[in-house]
Amino acid sequence: MGGRLESWGWWVGGMLLLCLSLALESEVVLANRPLASSPHEMGSSSISISTSTSSSSSTNHNKIIEKDHKYILANIFHSLFDNGDSSYTHVWPDMEFGWRVVLGSTIGFLGAALGSIGGVGGGGIFVPMLTLIIGFDPKTSTAISKCMIMGAAGSTVYYNLRLRHPTLELPIIDYDLALLFQPMLMLGISIGVAFNVIFPDWMVTVLLIILFLGTSTKALFKGIETWKKESILKKEAAKLLTSQSNESQKLAYKPLPGAPAANAQVLSSPDDEVPIKENIYWKEFMLLLFVWVAFLAVQIIKTYATTCSIEYWVLNALQVPIALSVTLCEAINLCKGKRTIASRGKQDIRWKMHQLLFYCCCGVLAGIVGGLLGLGGGFILGPLFLEMGVPPQVASATSTFVMTFSSSMSVIQYYLLDRFPVPYAAYFVFLATVAAFTGQHIVRRLIVLLGRASLIIFILALTIFVSAISLGGVGIAHMVEKLERKEHMGFENLCYHSKSLQFKVL
């Protein structure tokens, strides 16, 4: 467990450091820095040079250098918070039946089905489809993608609420795991939505390729490891079945739930379904709902605050204690042993606070990625849950459950920012909802038939890898076009968009 934590720590730490360095370096390079001195200052300096000593000339030179650094810092904040005009324009094609809608719907259906199976949402397939085929601009595609993720996640959660844990007498959704990650994911979503307005496309592309290639590789290795363990269990089950053939006893094989205890007892059949109310832990669910409502209230009230005023930033900051209060309470209870991540089975572990805090940081990072790229946080949460020893079925179900809250919050934020056309969004939400339900039903039957839960992990790795290739290719193509046209490639203006938001709501 310590090795896994250290591996994830280096990887996530490197990603955060890369984000910070790219943000600072790009703004320094792309900012239009004014001259160190104005014409009036030049005239004054020439008089002072003719009448002053060499020491005063040196002092003036140092002042100019100091002013240079002030201009650089000023440009960084000017790019983020100035109330000037934004250079970004939306492209919203008319909604009419044609080959674009048919092809886009087909790809969207497959993406939603695969994304719901792996617990990642499918945004990595939605965004290129919406951009290249339907014809939306990249940022509108991001917003509509989030709408599709919300529809797919809601459908998947409804399907999973009838199912039980593959080997334990528990719901397939781990509510303790959700309480640990959902508040942090939603906090990251709010940050990511703002970054979506600010960050240039080229930076988003670089971060996306690095992040997705890393996660898909980790998921692939985890899938191979799980496949080998399943093969061993299948051989042992076959031997046991042969030895008991004289007694005419049948052995029901259970899909491998990750890294199970050797003496784990099978308590339920793969085909068992129970009423939804038995799979809902109302106390934990209401706590998650409280976090969602609190975030929603802050977002709505924030629209009536003066753009970039003190009240505006105070309201933004209120999201931090809301998220931290719930997550830290859950983390402390896990450390003290008052609560446990029961879906891991009998693998008892004494959670340490630094481990849980690191996982919470991963939750924030997943939210930032989700809000920034229009993807589900499951691209990070799914592989992370698997590394924590959670069964693939539970990892997928819990990741999707958490994404239902976060994606719906993103949709509301994008709607208030007027970032997508409602008719198109409604159509694709319906499409994703049907696709997710269909995908869940088919793959569940395949897992029962083949006896291999690792199928979920391989679908997860495939979806992330395809997303990296498709989104990375689209991003690189857009960068080349902008370079050829010498278009603006710097940071956008956050306060300009906030100002437009306030006008529309009022």
What's the confidence (pLDDT) of residue 494?
Answer: 64
Nearest to 181 by CA among 399, 341, 393, 12: 399
**Structural domain contains residue 275:** no
Count Cβ atoms within 10 A of the Cβ of residue 486 and give its class: 0-12 exposed, 13-18 middle, 19 or more buried: exposed
Q: Are 344 and 258 in contact (CB under 8 A)?
A: yes
CA distances from 158 to 162, 268, 404, 432, 489 (A): 7, 20, 11, 14, 42
**Structural domain contains residue 198:** yes
The parts of the chain modelled with pLDDT lower than 50 are: 5-6, 16-61, 63-86, 249-253, 255-271, 498-506
273: β partners: 163
**Structural domain contains residue 51:** no
Q: How many CB atoms lie within 10 A of CB 89?
A: 6
What's the confidence (pLDDT) of residue 488?
Answer: 67
What's the half-sphere exposure (Cβ side, CA atoms, 13 Å) at 91?
11
**Structural domain contains residue 193:** yes
> Using CA of residue 162, residue 168, residue 170, residue 176, what is the dihedral sign?
negative
DSSP string, 105-153: HHHHHHHHHHHHHHTSTTHHHHHHIIIIII---HHHHHHHHHHHHHHHH
CA distances from 55 to 48, 61, 489 (A): 12, 10, 42
Nearest to 368 by CA among 226, 176, 208, 491: 208
**Structural domain contains residue 141:** yes
Q: Are 64 and 37 in contact (CB under 8 A)?
A: yes
What's the confidence (pLDDT) of residue 265?
Answer: 43
What's the confidence (pLDDT) of residue 374?
Answer: 63
**Structural domain contains residue 44:** no
What's the confidence (pLDDT) of residue 42?
Answer: 41
The stretches of 337-421 forming alpha helices (DSSP H) are 353-373, 378-387, 392-416
The per-residue pLDDT for range 25-41, each reduced to its tens digit, is 444 333 443 433 334 44
Residues 411, 318: Cα–Cα separation, whole Å: 20
Domain count, the chain: 1
DSSP 279: G
Structural domain boundaries enclosing 153: 92-246+283-505
**Structural domain contains residue 413:** yes
Q: Are 389 and 344 in contact (CB under 8 A)?
A: yes
**Structural domain contains residue 36:** no
